[in-house]
Structure 1
Amino acid sequence: MPNAPEEDVLYIHPVTVARGLNQWETAAGELAERWPAIEARLRALNAARPWGSGSEGLRFYSRYFESNGPNTMLEKGDKVVDELVKSGPAMRATISNSMSTDHGEVERIKRLIQ
């Protein structure tokens, strides 16, 4: 059964989208700026092995480093942060293209019905 017309419509509120993207880009930029120091701090903390060599510490270590999780996160962190930074402008372009297309279709239909 086809969707009701209201379900087939995408409404883009430009002011809301712009505010959201501004916030996204600000947060992503701040993260990109801070990431090198965060990464270095995490590497230093892991290298210090604060969990110790006792049985409890070794159990913690084995769970903490299960599947090499912390190292994988640090190795992929640069790529993740880079993608977060790129996402804001990419989304801004996508929204702009959608709105331009919509405007073009409105104008085309207006010419057809005149």
Structure 2
Amino acid sequence: MIEDWSGAYVSKTVVNRGMSAWSTTAEEVGRTLPKLADDVESYLSTAPWGGGAEGQAFYKAHCGDGGPIEMVRQAKRLAEQIVDAGDRLRAAIDNTLQTDADIRHDLTRMAREV
């Protein structure tokens, strides 16, 4: 872990490239995952395992403790978090870059006044 950040430099080009990749991935996840999750939930709601003893044993073994339905719910939450994290990270980066610019401006102004 880096403990001394003095002299650190944030490359706006590298950050923008990374954020662009994140946004592309987040958009893809946000667009495709809800439909896929709805499809899985729809298929599971038909109870394809059947109502007999074997079907009930299958259901208990594979759907107990939430099974695939819980996995789908968690995937939906994760997709929302992926999209939200990108938005929050972009705001944090923009704030950091603006703060750095303000500090540089203040230091330049102070140097001229001295």
- The TM-score with structure 1 as length reference comes to 0.69
Match of 1:33 in 2: 31
Conserved 8 A contact 2:23-2:83: yes
Q: Which has the higher contact order (CA 8 A, sep 6+)?
A: 1
Measure the CA separation in 2 of the matches of 1:60 and 1:36.
24
CA offsets 1:5-55 (integer angstroms, 9 cap, x no match): xx32443211111111111111111111112221133224544239xx65x
- % identical aligned pairs: 21
Q: State the one-letter code of the partner of 1:70.
A: P
Measure the CA separation in 1 of the matches of 2:64 and 2:13.
45
Match of 2:5 in 1: 8
- RMSD of aligned C-alpha atoms? 3.0
Matched, 1:48 2:45: no
Worse-matched range after superposition: 72-81 or 18-27? 72-81
Q: State the one-letter code of the partner of 1:77.
A: A
Where 1:8 maps in the other structure, the secondary structure is coil
Where 2:14 maps in the other structure, the secondary structure is helix
Q: State the one-letter code of the partner of 2:105.
A: E
**Judging changes above 3 Å, is the alpha-carbon distance between structure 1 residues 85 and 40 closer, same or farther for their aligned structure 2 residues?**
same
Measure the CA separation in 1 of the matches of 2:16 and 2:35.
30
**Judging changes above 3 Å, is the alpha-carbon distance between structure 1 residues 13 and 76 closer, same or farther for their aligned structure 2 residues?**
same
Worse-matched range after superposition: 24-33 or 36-45? 36-45
